[in-house]
Amino acid sequence: MIIGEQKPFKEIVRNLEGHETILVAGCRSCVAICLAGGEKEVGVLAESLRIHSDLNDLGWEVGEATVERQCEKEWVRELAPLVEEVDCVLSMACGVGAQIVQEMFPDTRVIPGLNTSNMGAPEEQGIWSEKCGGCGDCVLHLTGGICPMARCAKNLLNGPCGGSQDGMCEIDPETPCAWDQIFQSLKRLGRLDLMEENIPPKDWTPSRNGGPRTIVKSSAVLTEKEKRAREGLD
Amino acid sequence: MGPRIVGFCCSYCGYASADLAGRQGRTYSPGVMIVRLPCSGRIDVLHILQAFRKGADAVFVVGCLEDNCNFVNGNFEAKKRVQEVKDILDALGLGAGRVEMFNVASNQGWRFPRIVEEMTARVEKLGPNPLGVIADDNR
Amino acid sequence: MTLPPGSEPVTMSSSSRPARTRRPVVRGEREPTGRIGVFLCRCGGSVDGRLDIESVREKVSSMDGVEECMVMDFPCSMESRETIVNVIRENDLDRFVVAGCSPKAVEARFKSTAQESGLNPYMVEIANIREQCSLVHNLSEATSKAGLLVEAAVAKCSLLVPAPHHRGRVESEEVLVYGNGMSAVVATDELVSEGAKVHLVLPFSPHRLVFNYHDGIRPGHLEDMRDRITDSDLVRVHGHSSVERFEGEPGAFTALVRSSEGAEEIRCGAAIIAWEASEVPSPSLNGSLVVTQAELESIMDQGRVPDRTVMITLREEDTYCPERITHIEALRNAIRMKEMDPRVQVTIVARDVLAFGLSELDYREAMSRGVSFIRTEASPLITVGDTVKVRVKDLNLGEELSIETDLVVMSSWTQPYDTGHVAQVFGTPVDREGFFIPTQVKLKPTASIVEGVFLCGTGVESKTPSEVVLEARSAASRAKAMVSSKMEWGGAVAEVDPESCSACLTCIRSCPFNAPFIGETGKAEIEIGLCQGCGICVGLCPSRAIQLYCYTDGQLGAQIGALVGRVR
């Protein structure tokens, strides 16, 4: 899932400068699960902001609302009556959610409350590690299920660099060397032959560097006639 | 009445030590208001913040001695949450010292007034909560 | 939805647990009306007399929702209870506040008063205006504080909702004892003596159970016990069997017992896992000159005691971690040897002598009887010839000693076997070495995290034989008490609102009692029978989907607001 972390309180307060009526908007999806922007964190942050306002006589009005997924327009639309009352929305969702809120409410400033970090998974409760690089050209079948884009600091494709020491990455003695892990995994799977398969230099077009990506599943897209049949319902 | 302090006490050791203090004829500042919890692990960061927003000068959470929690992990959880509140209070400029976690045994009636004394001393040092604008008869 | 594979099987619930958040409505409880009664207690002068109870009454009477507010002498007395019941009925109250002494003293009483009045027993709030008010402050302070405390109790009470609760159904008063040694026999014996029917499941034939214990236990005593219980009408022995499946709730468990003849489903109200760890023999043993402590005891039973003995309490491997009873055992046997013949030489080789509790007295006695102690770090070298030579580096002298001796006694280490499988079936966790983890040794001995399943034996922790007996009897007692009592489930328990739940697994990972699980709907549910009402999960839930009856966020917020409330 998407992993994010709440911005430091002082930074949030600084970014809210100039606003007086604030809606703190949370999401029940990824950011709730990584304990950064769910209803609970929204509640705590909102109360903290109210205390800050009271202490400094700012006269802020701070509201709270949490939707199922902030990346889906139908759910974000539910916020409309609340957004009407405020001059800014502090989005506690990931960067995606924050942008959808802005799209849905183009006249109300949206301020991010989170730093969205990566696509990862919990190692244990409270600790999340980056797993997927989102490169758009997955080679996990060749790397024993370990992503060299996300987990190798240099994004190497064909083996470790000279800095790999005792299975650890040279940038941090606590970070495992992804290629050492790949080697161990392929060994366990009995497929060390795959290490000899050369992964060619990366074509970065399917990745971020080719511009913002759009994925289309044509069988799911509503045809014009289908859309017309729903006119007035949405 | 003295500084307004909210004490969240677990039903086992915390609350019992406060009861015992009463039965032992001890005295402490009447500004201390005790809220009973089933376990200190029930404490929520939000409740403590609410107390401060309403004007509490200090908040303490009392749980059982570590490794003696009737619910095994409650007091460890409470400690983590109190730490979270400390960080928020620092960021707000109110002072982390206003909130504290204590671990007591139910037969330590003598500790309860000491806890109150410590928190009162901290309020003296940090000053009253600026949000504690209270009509005199309420104090 | 099944939980992710690879998660520790013994601490996370698996999909084999059906969705069963039971919330039967208790018939006869009134519909909520929101009308509150307040009963202030004079408490024989410890309240009235130390604060102005009348002014508190006046203040509270004017509160919204308070239909009746009265001062009574002792609301907890029989006469007063009748009055309260009548007041509730006449005024159509559906909840009440009692302000007086500590809820720890009177809560249960007023819960039953509520029930007598036809109310849900959890619609009562107790305000402590005695131990935490009238006894600790002066008159005017206590009076104003009492006003606030009762106000806060009323504010909280107005938000109370009837909590789900039901009588545990005891469908079977039989107890399942699953074990492999002494504790199983003792537990069964205790159950039989209390009149309980027992299913004794053993991985082998009962005749394979032999006992070579001392520690005050008469030889043959345990064999007699074993024979007695296998002959008893109350005991059904399942030899060469194992428990393959275990599910249900306290009072109504079902276990699948498999033997070579097939599988059989049995019902029981409680279960006891009575597992012994096995002795890991030291590689140096040779049966005659290098023996275990137990073998030494046999030698002494025959009336013999060697002239020179060296006891070694260190392990041969590098990992030094003495068992709990290593030194207790050694000291006890050393003293016995000196009692039999004060002239013999006894030397104990140790890194530290861990004699705790009363064993500390044994340590002193051993020293005063002339037992020598050699402090060392590494395991000594033993050479066996006609006699035995022990080479050990004495830390105090800083030199290596070569000791010729007639007998070397090696302390044993224990290792539990097959506990992983047992743990998985019953849902009771084991640690890395395979020992069963009890839930709270000091407050709930012999309890496991699964309500209704009890633990005893050296498979939990190494202990002396007399401790094994004691613990097994304790587990049996508790199991019998449980199935014989009126169990009540529910009350101030946690509940998940599935609409808000994100299925993030946080509650499942954090509960010390394994109460939350992912139900058939794919959302978290709390097993009422297991929930202890601590509220740890409530504060952790990132989607605020869990609330705790009688301590909801709203109720606590109202309480805090009334206690601190400022004018702004």
Q: What is the mean pLDDT of residues A20-29?
A: 96
- Put simply, the answer to whether C543 touches A41 (Cβ < 8 Å) is no
Secondary structure of B64-125 in HEC code, one letter for each residue = ECCCCCCCCCHHHHHHHHHHHHHHHHHHHCCCHHHEEEEEECCCCCCHHHHHHHHHHHHHHH
User: Model confidence at A63, in pLDDT bands (50, 70, 90)?
Assistant: very high
Query: Pairing state of beta strands C124-128 and C165-167?
Result: unpaired
Tell me which amino acid residue B66 is: E
Following CA atoms A33, A39, A45, A47 in sequence, which dihedral angle do they give, to the nearest 10 degrees? -150
How far is A43 from A36, CA to CA, in rounded Å? Answer: 11
In sequence order, which residues have a C-beta less than 8 Å from that of residue B6 and are 6 or more positions away? B32, B33, B34, B35, B51, B56, B58, B59, B60, C560, C563, C564
**CB contacts, 8 Å: B45 with chain A:** 44
Average pLDDT in chain C: 88
Count the Cβ atoms, other than its own, within 10 Å of residue B11: 21
**Least confident span in A113-127, C4-18, C288-302, C447-461:** C4-18
- Put simply, the answer to whether B91 touches A40 (Cβ < 8 Å) is no
> What pLDDT, on a 0 to 100 scale, did the predictor assign at position C61?
95
The residues pairing with C279 across neighbouring beta strands, listed in sequence order, are C414
Chain A closest-CA separation from residue B138 CA (Å): 20
**CB contacts, 8 Å: A51 with chain B:** 49, 52-53, 92, 94, 131
How far is A211 from A206, CA to CA, in rounded Å? Answer: 9
Q: What is the mean pLDDT of residues C386-392?
A: 91
Burial C403-442 (b: 16+ CB within 10 A, else e): bebebbbbbbbbebeebeebbbbbbbbbeeebbbbbbbee
For residue C483, CA distances in Å to C198, C251, C476 come to 12, 6, 11
How far is B132 from B121, CA to CA, in rounded Å? Answer: 17
Q: Give yes or no for B133 touching A (CB within 8 A).
A: no
> What pLDDT, on a 0 to 100 scale, did the predictor assign at position C20?
38
How far is C452 from C496, CA to CA, in rounded Å? Answer: 24
For residue C300, CA distances in Å to C43, C258, C341 come to 66, 42, 11
> What pLDDT, on a 0 to 100 scale, did the predictor assign at position C221?
86
Express each pLDDT in C483-524 by its tens digit: 988 778 889 999 999 999 999 999 999 998 888 999 999 999
Among all chains, which residue has been given the structure tokens 């633990």?
C455
Instruction: Assign C338 to helix, strand or coil.
Output: helix
How far is C564 from C567, CA to CA, in rounded Å? Answer: 10
In sequence order, which residues have a C-beta less than 8 Å from that of residue C400 and are 6 or more positions away? C391, C392, C393, C394
> What pLDDT, on a 0 to 100 scale, did the predictor assign at position A230?
79
Residues of chain A with CATH 3.40.50.2300: 2-118
Backbone phi, psi, residue C311, to 5°: -100, 130
CA C470, chain centre distance (Å):
15
Fold observed for domain B5-126 = Rossmann fold (3.40.50)
> What pLDDT, on a 0 to 100 scale, did the predictor assign at position C177?
97
**CB contacts, 8 Å: A59 with chain C:** none
Task: Kindly state the helix (H) or strand (E) to which residue C165 belongs, with its residue range.
Answer: strand C165-167
Q: What is the mean pLDDT of residues A135-159?
A: 93
How far is C69 from C127, CA to CA, in rounded Å? Answer: 14
Following CA atoms B26, B27, B31, B35 in sequence, which dihedral angle do they give, to the nearest 10 degrees? 10
Which domains does chain C show, CATH number per domain?
Answer: 1-24+489-568 (3.30.70.20), 36-163 (3.40.50), 175-277+416-484 (3.50.50.60), 281-413 (3.50.50.60)
DSSP code, position C104: H
The residue of chain C nearest to residue B41, with distances taken between CA atoms, is: C536
Does the pLDDT at position C17 exceed 70?
Answer: no
In sequence order, which residues have a C-beta less than 8 Å from that of residue A123 and are 6 or more positions away? A129
CA C7, chain centre distance (Å):
24
Q: What is the mean pLDDT of residues A61-68?
A: 96
User: Model confidence at A114, in pLDDT bands (50, 70, 90)?
Assistant: very high
> What pLDDT, on a 0 to 100 scale, did the predictor assign at position C395?
93
**CB contacts, 8 Å: B46 with chain A:** 40, 43-44, 47
**CB contacts, 8 Å: C136 with chain B:** 21-22, 26-28, 30
Domain ranges of chain B: 5-126
Tell me which amino acid residue C117 is: S
- Put simply, the answer to whether A40 touches C542 (Cβ < 8 Å) is yes
How far is A188 from C66, CA to CA, in rounded Å? Answer: 71
How far is A102 from C341, CA to CA, in rounded Å? Answer: 92
User: Model confidence at C29, in pLDDT bands (50, 70, 90)?
Assistant: low
The residues pairing with A24 across neighbouring beta strands, listed in sequence order, are A64, A90
- Between C439, C535, C559, which is nearest B39 by CB? C535
Q: Give yes or no for B38 touching C (CB within 8 A).
A: yes
DSSP state letters, A207-228: SGGGSS-----TTTSPPHHHHH
> What pLDDT, on a 0 to 100 scale, did the predictor assign at position C140?
92
Kindly list the partner chains of chain B, i.e. chains with 3 or more CB atom pairs below 8 Å. A, C
For residue C173, CA distances in Å to A213, C166, C396, C445, C543 come to 65, 18, 60, 21, 41
- Put simply, the answer to whether B1 touches C141 (Cβ < 8 Å) is yes
- Between B49, B52, B94, which is nearest A44 by CB? B49
Rounded to two decimals, the pTM is 0.81
- Between C502, C509, C510, which is nearest A38 by CB? C502
In sequence order, which residues have a C-beta less than 8 Å from that of residue A205 and are 6 or more positions away? none
> What pLDDT, on a 0 to 100 scale, did the predictor assign at position A219?
86
How far is B6 from A233, CA to CA, in rounded Å? Answer: 53
Q: What is the mean pLDDT of residues C209-224?
A: 76
- Between B6, B41, B55, which is nearest C566 by CB? B55
Question: Can you tell me the ipTM of this complex?
Answer: 0.95
| Inter-axis angle of helices C293-301 and C326-340, nearest 10 | 20
How far is C223 from C60, CA to CA, in rounded Å? Answer: 69
- Put simply, the answer to whether C131 touches B50 (Cβ < 8 Å) is no
- Put simply, the answer to whether B45 touches A54 (Cβ < 8 Å) is no
> What pLDDT, on a 0 to 100 scale, did the predictor assign at position C455?
96
C241 closest CA partner among C265, C222, C225: C265
Express each pLDDT in C60-77 by its tens digit: 999 989 999 999 999 989
Express each pLDDT in B69-105 by its tens digit: 889 899 999 999 999 999 999 999 999 999 999 999 9
Q: What is the mean pLDDT of residues C315-336?
A: 84
> What pLDDT, on a 0 to 100 scale, did the predictor assign at position C13?
32
> What pLDDT, on a 0 to 100 scale, did the predictor assign at position C41?
94
> What pLDDT, on a 0 to 100 scale, did the predictor assign at position C34?
84
> What pLDDT, on a 0 to 100 scale, did the predictor assign at position A220?
85
CATH code for the domain defined by A2-118:
3.40.50.2300
Q: What is the mean pLDDT of residues A192-218?
A: 84
Residues C153, C59 contacting (CB under 8 angstroms): no
CA A74, chain centre distance (Å):
20
**CB contacts, 8 Å: A38 with chain C:** 502, 542-544
Q: Give yes or no for C391 touching A (CB within 8 A).
A: no
Most trustworthy range by pLDDT among A113-122, C168-177, C310-319 = A113-122
The residue of chain A nearest to residue B56, with distances taken between CA atoms, is: A51
DSSP code, position C131: I
Backbone phi, psi, residue C327, to 5°: -80, -30
For residue C307, CA distances in Å to A142, C330, C436 come to 70, 17, 41
The number of C-beta contacts closer than 8 angstroms across A and C is 32
Does the pLDDT at position B134 exceed 70?
Answer: no
Does the pLDDT at position C1 exceed 60?
Answer: no
Does the pLDDT at position C250 exceed 70?
Answer: yes
Where do the DSSP E strands lie in A75-234? 88-91, 109-112, 114-124, 127-132
Tell me which amino acid residue C433 is: E
Chain A closest-CA separation from residue B119 CA (Å): 21
Express each pLDDT in C43-64 by its tens digit: 988 999 899 999 999 999 999 8
Q: What is the CA radius of gyration of chain A?
A: 22
